[in-house]
Amino acid sequence: MRIFQPAWALLREAFSLYWVLVRIVLPVMVLTRIAVEFGAIELLSPLFAPLMTLLGLPPELGFAWVTGLLVGIWGGAVAMFAVVPVETLTTAQVTVFWTLILFAHALPIEQRIVQKAGPGFVVTSALRLLGGLVYGLLLHLLFQYTGWLSEPASPLMVPAGSDSGWLGFIYETAEALFWMFVILLALVITMRLMEVVGMMNWLRTLLAPVLRLAGIGPAAAPLTMVGLLLGLSYGGGLIIREARQGHLGARDVFLAAALMGLAHSLIEDTLVAVALGADLTSVLFGRVIFSIAIVALIARLIRFVPEHTFFRYLFKAA
């Protein structure tokens, strides 16, 4: 019987973490779907057309950007190719657009998870939006003045739209929640194994120089890497647990969430963006370097923020 106790404890830990995330994610997914059904995106998207023009993008892509912000990466991808013919876009334009999406997508869901860990919803959402816009503008100016990536876009795939209705939405949501639990369980088991064999200490040592540049302490390093590599939902979920157990300081949580917000799911999301025609160097290496530089600047600035101001405007204890 003792043999099964550790396995049962891991399962219980994974389910506890999963239940925290489900209570955040599911209501937001439903509300976002309702907003889409009632035409909220169509109402909002014209407001962003001037911004698209500033970034060298067709104004119609304002619709696709808002879709990505509210729904997620695939929603933005489908909308992108639905409103603008792919043959009219350059690789530079696709790269700039995907920069915006990679920095800020599915904000209602992902930022709600971040908020549960403590960092403020508004400030971290604004950081992702502004970070994407600034990096996108820098890329646009670079491409414009150098002529780099001016060739026609050549995506490996063009996603088709889906009109599956509410039944399809229910099925897709159930499938996503199932795989979320599977991945969370795998993460919990993997992290426990890494602790047993001493890999956590090795990982902290390896990552410490890089994350130290961003002001993130060694205790938050492994969890931050989960978010960077696999996604904000998983990294954020683990940080919620650690923060509630008092294992991480508030400022470490804030900086880790900031870095994960700017650069997360570096494996899956980057592969999607490149398959849809974006430049790998820009959406991966450039984005990571830019994100670390921004968070490093934030880390130095918040040193001068008094405790009462920090906990009033930037961080709410869970």
Could you write out the DSSP letters of every residue in 75-140? HHHHHHHHHS-GGG-BHHHHHHHHHHHHHS-SHHHHHHHHHHHSB-HHHHHHHHHHHHHHHHHHHH
Count CB neighbours of 256 within 10 A.
Answer: 34
Question: Above 50 in pLDDT, residue 4?
Answer: no
Helices and strands per DSSP (H, E), number in the chain: 17, 0
- Each residue's pLDDT tens digit, 202-252: 766 777 788 888 888 877 887 788 888 777 777 777 787 777 777 788 999
Answer whether residue 159 is part of any domain: no
Q: Which residue has the higher pLDDT, 256 or 194?
A: 256
Answer whether residue 126 is part of any domain: yes
Rounded to 5 degrees, φ, ψ at 156 are -75, -20
Answer whether residue 231 is part of any domain: yes
What is the pLDDT, as a whole number, of residue 310? 95
Average pLDDT, the chain: 85
Helices 61-70 and 107-117 pack at an angle, to 10 degrees, of 40
What is the pLDDT, as a whole number, of residue 95? 98
What is the pLDDT, as a whole number, of residue 300? 93
Helices 91-103 and 73-83 pack at an angle, to 10 degrees, of 150
- What is the domain count for the chain? 1
User: Could you list the residue range(s) of the whole structural domain that residue 9 is in?
Assistant: 4-154+164-314
Answer whether residue 177 is part of any domain: yes
Answer whether residue 221 is part of any domain: yes
Among 107-111, 156-160, 220-224, 261-265, the least confident range: 156-160
- Each residue's pLDDT tens digit, 259-282: 999 998 887 788 889 988 999 999
% of the chain at pLDDT higher than 90: 38
- Each residue's pLDDT tens digit, 46-95: 888 899 999 999 998 998 898 889 888 887 887 888 778 888 999 999 99
Answer whether residue 12 is part of any domain: yes
Answer whether residue 206 is part of any domain: yes
What's the rounded Cα separation, in Å, for the pair 280 and 158?
Answer: 17
* pLDDT bracket for residue 1 (50, 70, 90): very low
Answer whether residue 178 is part of any domain: yes
* pLDDT bracket for residue 258 (50, 70, 90): very high
